[in-house]
Amino acid sequence: MPPDHTAAADNTGTPSPIFAIQKARTRFFGLTFDETIRVFFGGNAFVAVIVLALITFFLFREGSQFFGQNRDSLRTYRLAGLEYVDIIRQQEEDHTALTRYLFDIRLKAVVKLTEEGVDAAEAKRRLAKFDDYAERYGDTIVPVRGLVSELTEVATDIKTRYNENEDYKVARQQFLASGMKAEAEAIVVKNLDFSREILAITGTFPAYEQINTEYAEALKAAIAELPVLPVPELQPRLERFRELNREYLATFPTRTELLKNWNNNAPVGWSESFTQFIFGTRWLTASFWQDWYGIIPLFVGSLMISAIALFIAVPLGVGAAIYVNQIATPQEQKLIKPAIEFISAIPSVVLGFFGIAVLGQALRALSQWEALSWVPGFPYSERLNALTAGCLLALIAVPTIFTLAEDAINNVPRAFKEASFALGASRMQTIVRIIVPAALSGIVSAVLLGLGRVMGETMVVLLCAGNRIAIPDFTAGITAFVQPVHTMTGIIAQEMGEVVRGGIHYRALFVVGLVLFFIALLLNFLAQKIVRKYRISIG
Amino acid sequence: MEKSTFWVFRLATYLILIAGFSVFGDIVVKGSATVFGAFKTTSTFPYFTNTFLTEAPESLYVFEHKGEKREMGDREYRAFREKETAAALAAGQPAPQFKADSYVYSAGGIWPCIVGTVLLVVGSMTIALLLGVSSAIFLSEYARDGAFVRFVRLAILNLAGVPSIVFGLFGFGMFVIYFDWNVSLLAGWFTLAFMVLPVVITASEEALKAVPKGFREGSLALGATKWQTIRSNVLPYALPGILTSSILGIARVAGETAPIMFTAAYVVRDKLPWDVEKISDFFFQGVMALPYHIYVVSSKIPQNEYTARVQYGTAFVFLGIVALIAASSIVLRNKLRGRYKW
Amino acid sequence: MDTPAATPASRTFNVPATASAADGAQTLIEIDSFDFYYGAKQALFDINLRLADKRVTAFIGPSGCGKSTLLRCLNRMNDLIDGTSVKRGNVKIRGIDIYGRDVDSIELRKRVGMVFQKSNPFPKSIYENITYGLRIQGVKSKARLDEVVEKSLRGAALWDEVKDRLHESGLGLSGGQQQRLCIARTIAVEPEVILMDEPCSALDPIATAKVEELIHELKKQFTIIIVTHSMQQAARCSDQTAFFYMGKLVEFGETRDIFMNPKNPQTEAYVSGRFG
């Protein structure tokens, strides 16, 4: 308090002739008390920015080495010859798929015969020829299979010895680092000469060529004389089988070429490590053979569950928003809004528990109900699947979508509505033609934010999605939606507690987190962009 | 035609409510049996206790004894077995064989989880309120439109959309590993606080904005400094609003599982949080928490009649707590809206 | 004695040379070639004005003419709005440039008080409302605060009405009382200048009359500048009047002259009610 002012105040009625308004505040580090407070609050506001930066930083910090480790893993995969073995194994697996095709035909034939009133023994007798054929066909692969299992052992052995050696090296380094020279000396590191070791695998190439030629001959012979089915309608399928075999045979030369030119020293690039993650279709961990970290099965799972959730939540949420804002009486509004807000407060883990305890079973029972058998995918047997999780996530997305969509509808200027009524439009026409289009971008951004909420939700999918790490089988069309899936959020929650810190699996989970993080930012960005546009258009 | 379309919308609305309340109803009906069935009389004041709310989880043993089916908690079962064996030996008979099925966590109660959840909520909300209200004061009172503020607002908006599991990963990477706090209360506090920060900031800013401009101008025109104005003429009037809206943040903090899975929660812990040797140990200990306990009991143990008791009971208590918090927020807010008309 | 005969204002606008010095008052506020901007939009153009001590000056003009903006420039309340800036000219009070580098706007506001269009008592007791200004300056003595409360309330002609309920909320008063409470609150910190931004626009005629009466009393102690929409009010309670139009000062002079004998045709049109 400046002294002159006190004087003025005491000296009532006669203001001081000196007009003292000069700065006279105590300063610390050049800041007045007030400015210090301002800086303090500003610093706090900056925390949000810092946190966002820290999230990015720590996800990168823990995840960034993944691609290097994955590259090493892929390099070992190649150096130790596992890749070579997998090329042949693929051939074997393709054959297995064709065998399965034959079994499928047989199954259909049996069904058909049973429908015709043929008993099981008789059906078996009539199919004897076919079975005989199928068996012979299946046996053609045996030599190849033998080779594969032999090579698998060799390759595994090489890889194991290599990994052991790497561990020794690390141990030795650690001993040296902590000054224990004697212990370090005691560890014998035998560096593996891959180019020599690999001969045990690539050396079998002539043998493979021979086996393969014989195998090809056997296949050709097999498809030359197809068996006659007791069910004539299925005969075209056998023709198709022949066609598939021809296609299969056509791949043989490329495969042989691939094996011939295969080189265990071919460099593994960063891009390979990266594409194996982004486009990889296998998430396979703790495997004795080779671990794969491909995000696609998880991503597809997340996407599929989100799609189900939004499919349910968007009509309900937007419909409810229109109803509450445009149609409902004020009393109803007063009731519904808090109620929906209340639903949004139900913790997701409770919803997940409800899914396990009640909804999974209820939905399965519903699917087994005769009257609903027309629904694709019904009936199904897995209690926990994408549909169960999707339904629960819909309940999580609805409040978000409802609240934001209701806001958007509320922001449509009254004048629009009044003008429409003045032109003689009915309430329904006004809603459909005026209000919803005017609020559309707001609604779209609401849906995007709802999607973000659903994609990022963890507990429900962890508990209810079935947690099978595989890309759902889309060949059966829409029925894929009742298959169990795994998700990006779920995999982190499930596996984070079990992995070795600093290991490749651990880092892979952080990279998945990073992907989730950027998806969330992207959705947020899009939602904001749409809303901003919308503001301008309303003016 | 128009009528029927209206009915479609009405149906959508009520379908949501029905879905929500059937979840709620199922858990309340089945869970309340556990909780209210656990009242027991005691010999000391207040002459009753609720074993489900006050005991720690135990394994449940189900066995047949002398043709009778018995269910017992871990401690009770051991005592019973010893007693029976001793009795049999005393009577010169061979020791009875006990073949029991055991179900983990299915007996006893959830007291440590309740304690843990309360500790997590109190700590994280304290941090979140300190940071959040300060940020809101800056944004609403001090900030002038500019690159910095736009940047901050953008960060807040984006932070709000970050999935909770990502917060969990971040908390794990930063607090648990980098700061080496291990799985601890402190790590959980900060992780949850950062997660709820956008909610608190937005709520606080709204409450601050609701204080009429005239209060600020009037105060400034009397020669008050900005901080004096905020402290005596803005904050006191915004505080009820800030706290009310922040309750929603509390509901969120209490309800989240993913962020605490790797940062603060233990599957099981024998000691209660205050059983520590040093004060500092208090902050660096993991705790049991209700949401995580629900996850554990619903995914790690089978679903059957013996486990349903604790599953539904935990879910009921948890839902009850969160619902109470959320409801009080909604009610308080409606009250405030009526009261503060300047 | 300062004679503003040669001020730019009088030259530009042909205001009678002796306007502000007619009754021998001292010049308190000098505004020179003052340009003011909201962002890129210029709100005030080259304002030149001399305001006398212990007089009531009214700023009149149609909405958006800049009169309130100028008023708020006099205690730098405009500083609080984003993007405002003074591009040219200066405002001096007692010869001190209030936009000078070493001026503390907080100190300035203690000496130049303000009453707002919408009465804004704090939601505290009447007593606390009055003592707020002193408390934030660190005055703690109960006796002194009591004394100031009574004096200020008497000064605002509110004492008799509220003396029995000093500790009730200021929001419980009627609109006119609230506005007088705000005036009392302002005079409690003993400013030299009181700025009034349409203080009666929300009041009924009786309350308005009371406030106008009060203004008459207050000018013995304070220099008062009042922005008003009502020409009658300007005519009733001001000594001098400045007419603004489109951010420019059109005419300034003795109130009687402005209303009876305006020099500028725009002024004439406005005061005779042809526009605005």
Quick: pLDDT tens for B279-296.
Answer: 888 889 899 999 999 999
Q: What is the pLDDT of residues B14-71, one digit of tens each?
A: 999 999 999 999 999 998 888 888 787 777 777 777 778 888 888 888 888 777 888 8
Query: Using the beta-carbon criterion (under 8 Å), do C106 and B221 form an inter-chain contact?
Result: no
Pairing of strands C223-227, C193-197: parallel
Pick the range with the lowest mean pLDDT from C7-21, C74-88, C115-129, C248-262: C7-21
- DSSP letter assigned to residue A327: I
Token readout for B197 is: 């920060």
Does residue B299 sit in the same domain as residue B238? Answer: yes
**pLDDT above 80: residue A390:** yes
Closest CA of chain A from B143, distance in Å? 8
**pLDDT above 70: residue B341:** no
Q: By percentage, how much of chain A surpasses pLDDT 90?
A: 26
Token readout for B129 is: 């309120």
**pLDDT above 80: residue B140:** yes
Does residue B168 sit in the same domain as residue B87? Answer: no
Average pLDDT over residues A418-433: 85
Average pLDDT over residues A439-458: 91
Q: Which residues of B touch A357 (CB under 8 A)?
A: 26, 298, 303, 308, 311-312
Closest CA of chain A from B276, distance in Å? 25
Which residue from B132, B190, B195, B200 is spatially nearest to B166, judged by alpha carbons? B195
The Cα A19–Cα C98 span in angstroms is: 10
Q: Is A24 on the interface with C (CB under 8 A)?
A: yes
The Cα C267–Cα C265 span in angstroms is: 5
Please say whether the beta carbons of C92 and C30 come within 8 A: yes
Query: Using the beta-carbon criterion (under 8 Å), do A315 and B12 form an inter-chain contact?
Result: yes
Query: Using the beta-carbon criterion (under 8 Å), do A1 and C138 form an inter-chain contact?
Result: yes
Which of B108, B134, B159 corresponds to the end of one domain? B108
User: Domain range spanning residue B62?
Assistant: 49-108
pLDDT at A535: 60
Which of B66, B90, B108 corresponds to the end of one domain? B108
Q: What is the pLDDT of residues A186-213, one digit of tens each?
A: 877 777 788 888 888 888 888 888 888 8
Query: Using the beta-carbon criterion (under 8 Å), do C109 and B214 form an inter-chain contact?
Result: no
Flag whether the pTM goes above 0.95: no
Q: Which residues of C touch A20 (CB under 8 A)?
A: 107, 111
Does residue B254 sit in the same domain as residue B191? Answer: yes
Does residue B98 sit in the same domain as residue B115? Answer: no
Q: Which residues pair with C245 in a beta bridge?
A: C248
Interchain CB contacts (distance < 8 Å): A and B: 266
In terms of pLDDT, which residue wins out, A289 or C4?
A: A289
**pLDDT above 80: residue A10:** no
**pLDDT above 90: residue C59:** yes
**pLDDT above 50: residue C5:** no
**pLDDT above 80: residue C1:** no
Closest CA of chain A from C170, distance in Å? 24
pLDDT at A301: 94
The Cα A194–Cα B323 span in angstroms is: 64
Q: Which of A342, A350, A493 sits opposite B258 (nearest CB)?
A: A493
Query: Using the beta-carbon criterion (under 8 Å), do A55 and B166 form an inter-chain contact?
Result: yes
Confidence of residue B337 (pLDDT cuts 50, 70, 90): low
Half-sphere exposure of A501 (CA within 13 A, CB side): 10
**pLDDT above 50: residue A6:** no
Burial class from Cβ neighbours inside 10 Å (0-12, 13-18, 19+) for residue B302 reads exposed
Closest CA of chain A from B272, distance in Å? 23
Q: By percentage, how much of chain C surpasses pLDDT 90?
A: 35
Q: Hey, where are the domains in chain A?
A: 65-275, 297-533
pLDDT at A18: 66
Could you tell me where the DSSP H helices lie in B210-288?
213-221, 226-229, 235-255, 258-261, 279-283
**pLDDT above 50: residue B240:** yes
Q: By percentage, how much of chain B surpasses pLDDT 70?
A: 98
Average pLDDT over residues B185-199: 94
| A neighbour chains, 3+ CB pairs within 8 Å | B, C
Q: What is the pLDDT of residues A199-248, one digit of tens each?
A: 888 888 888 888 888 888 888 888 888 888 888 888 888 888 888 888 88
Could you tell me where the DSSP H helices lie in A423-458?
427-429, 436-456
| B neighbour chains, 3+ CB pairs within 8 Å | A, C
pLDDT at C4: 42
Does residue B193 sit in the same domain as residue B220? Answer: yes
Does residue B218 sit in the same domain as residue B186? Answer: yes
pLDDT at A506: 93
Q: Considering Cα of A86, then A92, then A97, then A98, what sign does the dihedral take? A: positive
Please say whether the beta carbons of A456 and A516 come within 8 A: yes
Domain A297-533: CATH superfamily is MetI-like (1.10.3720.10)
Kindly report the average pLDDT of chain A as a whole number. 86
**pLDDT above 50: residue C9:** no
Q: Which residues pair with C59 in a beta bridge?
A: C227, C242
Cis status, amide bond into A315, omega within 30 of 0: no
Tell me the CATH number at B224: 1.10.3720.10
Average pLDDT over residues C74-92: 87
pLDDT at A539: 39
Pairing of strands C240-245, C248-254: antiparallel
Which residue from A78, A79, A71, A289 is spatially nearest to A196, judged by alpha carbons? A79
pLDDT at A128: 86
Confidence of residue A13 (pLDDT cuts 50, 70, 90): very low
Average pLDDT over residues A505-521: 94
Q: Is residue B65 part of a domain?
A: yes
Q: By percentage, how much of chain C surpasses pLDDT 70?
A: 90
Element containing residue A490 per DSSP (H, E): helix A488-495
Average pLDDT over residues C55-74: 90
**pLDDT above 70: residue B226:** yes
Q: Is residue B327 part of a domain?
A: yes
Q: Is A427 on the interface with B (CB under 8 A)?
A: yes
Average pLDDT over residues A72-82: 88
Does residue B79 sit in the same domain as residue B178? Answer: no
Q: Is B145 on the interface with C (CB under 8 A)?
A: yes
Query: Using the beta-carbon criterion (under 8 Å), do B163 and A456 form an inter-chain contact?
Result: yes
Token readout for A170 is: 């690390």
Does residue B287 sit in the same domain as residue B142? Answer: yes
Element containing residue B82 per DSSP (H, E): helix B74-90
Q: Is residue B267 part of a domain?
A: yes
Q: Is residue B194 part of a domain?
A: yes
Question: What Rg do the C-alpha atoms of chain C give, in angstroms?
Answer: 19
Going along chain C from its start, the domains and CATH numbers come out as 25-271 (3.40.50.300)
Confidence of residue A297 (pLDDT cuts 50, 70, 90): very high
Token readout for C161 is: 């009405």
Confidence of residue A279 (pLDDT cuts 50, 70, 90): very high
**pLDDT above 60: residue A264:** yes
pLDDT at A534: 64
Average pLDDT over residues A422-443: 86
Based on the structure, what is the number of domains in chain B? Answer: 2
The Cα A300–Cα A487 span in angstroms is: 8
